[in-house]
Structure 1
Amino acid sequence: MHNVVDVPPRGPEDLAARGLTEVFAPALLAAVMPIVIGVHSTTPVSLGLAWALVGALCCSVIPNALIWWGVRRGRLTDHHIRVREQRRTPLIYGLVSVLFGLVLMIGFDAPRPITAMVVVMFVLGLAVTAANLVWKLSIHAAVAAGSAAVLVIEFGPQLLFSIPVVVLVCWSRVRLDEHTVSQVVAGSIVGLIVSIPIFLVLR
């Protein structure tokens, strides 16, 4: 069993880093992104919202519930799964949940932009799962960068302000000693090379 001790924030920068880590956690972004895309891209909005909630359920709520269950049972150190060796099983279960959502969306002809967003989440999940078998790639950075890229594609250049947010998320992970610079840079690159072509082609 790996023991990871939470170190209390030591000052304003650590508090800011902890806040960024929690606000832009992969689970939260995975819940919010399908809703943002669904509401913006689908008419009537109620249809987009309904399918977006299915996406949020399968991409975030179910996988995150499984992680919290693992934490409560003592099988995982914390909800961010800091120990790389513990990540494989939760990531695989998360992939199964996202795949189930995709099957529903394709089978019942969900709006294309929402389906495209969930495909991005699934392929990104595959990529980070494979990488984390051997290296602690930053999932925070990957999901943040992928989400920012999708927002720019969907809404246009006015959403370029999301890029500095990705940089801040990466900074927060390094500041908290959860990742190295190379791990957050690699995560960001993976997020971009997965999300941009997939969302452009499928939306």
Structure 2
Amino acid sequence: MPRTEARWAWLLSDGGEPRNWMLLLAPLLGRHTDGWAGLGWGVVAAVFTAVLPTVILRFGEHRRYWGDRHVRRRQDRIVAAPGVMASVITGTVLLYELDAPVEVTALVTAMLAVLLALLVITFFWKVSVHSAVASGALTILATVFGPWSLVLAPVVVLIGCSRIRLRCHTAGQVGVGFLIGAAVGSSVFDLVRCWA
């Protein structure tokens, strides 16, 4: 792959990391739902879904439990999953128990459901977490803010393409990631909001 193309692929891949979606989306939904107090809840959600998982993945990388923060090997993802899941589950429980705004709680619950679906598949096959979280985030944005949010769809597609170009995933793994993120993420998000 030419150096310039590789640079753009890495920029898209790193910029489209799951943590970055949650760092932006959780405070945005919190602010939209409940003003400045909601923004604070969004920050709490981002800590448990983005910041702490990043710390866990960096720690594992430093201790050589896995190769890098993207945890490319399927077997390594199974090793990394419990720590990441523990952080997201803890955050979800806290948001429910402390009566956080429903859209923040629904977002975190939806992303937890996406991660659980991906974990089940990971025991048999490698699937793109980048694509799943990006498509899940996009469908949730469209649910909350309307169809105009779909202008971000090309960004989501480019993130998936970057994962293929970097040979981190096949087109099938990216496509399945897109489908799981959109289907599971939006369904669970809507379900939680309806029940609240």
Answer whether TM exceeds 0.5 for this pair.
yes
Percent pairwise identity: 34
Q: Encode CA deviations 1:62-84: one digit per residue, 9 max, x unaligned.
A: 11101100111111101101111
Matched, 1:83 2:73: yes
Matches within 5 A, 1:84-99: 84-99=74-89
SS in 2 for 1:87: helix
Matched, 1:187 2:177: yes
Partner of 2:7: 15
Show structure 1 runs of 5+ residues with no match.
1-8
Matches within 5 A, 1:138-177: 138-177=128-167
1:62 to 52, 57, 61: 52
In the aligned structure 1, how far is the partner of 2:37 from the partner of 2:33?
A: 10
More helix by share: 2
Partner of 2:127: 137
In the aligned structure 2, how far is the partner of 1:63 from the partner of 1:96?
A: 9
Partner of 1:33: 25
In the aligned structure 2, how far is the partner of 1:57 from the partner of 1:168?
A: 26
Shift of 1:139: 0.4
- C-alpha RMSD of the superposition: 1.2
User: Match for 1:50: what amino acid?
Assistant: G
Q: How many residues align?
A: 193
Show structure 2 runs of 5+ residues with no match.
none
Shift of 1:12: 2.3
SS in 1 for 2:51: helix
Shift of 1:103: 1.2
Matched, 1:115 2:105: yes
Ranges of 4+ aligned residues in structure 1 off by more than 4 Å:
none
Would the aligned equivalents of 1:92 and 1:129 in 2 still touch at CA under 8 Å? no
User: Match for 2:98: what amino acid?
Assistant: F
Shift of 1:30: 2.2
SS in 2 for 1:77: coil
Shift of 1:137: 0.3
SS in 1 for 2:65: coil
Shift of 1:168: 0.4
SS in 2 for 1:177: coil
Q: Encode CA deviations 1:116-138: one digit per residue, 9 max, x unaligned.
A: 00001110110111111111100
SS in 1 for 2:91: helix
Matched, 1:105 2:105: no
Would the aligned equivalents of 1:30 and 1:121 in 2 still touch at CA under 8 Å? no
In the aligned structure 2, how far is the partner of 1:136 from the partner of 1:197?
A: 23
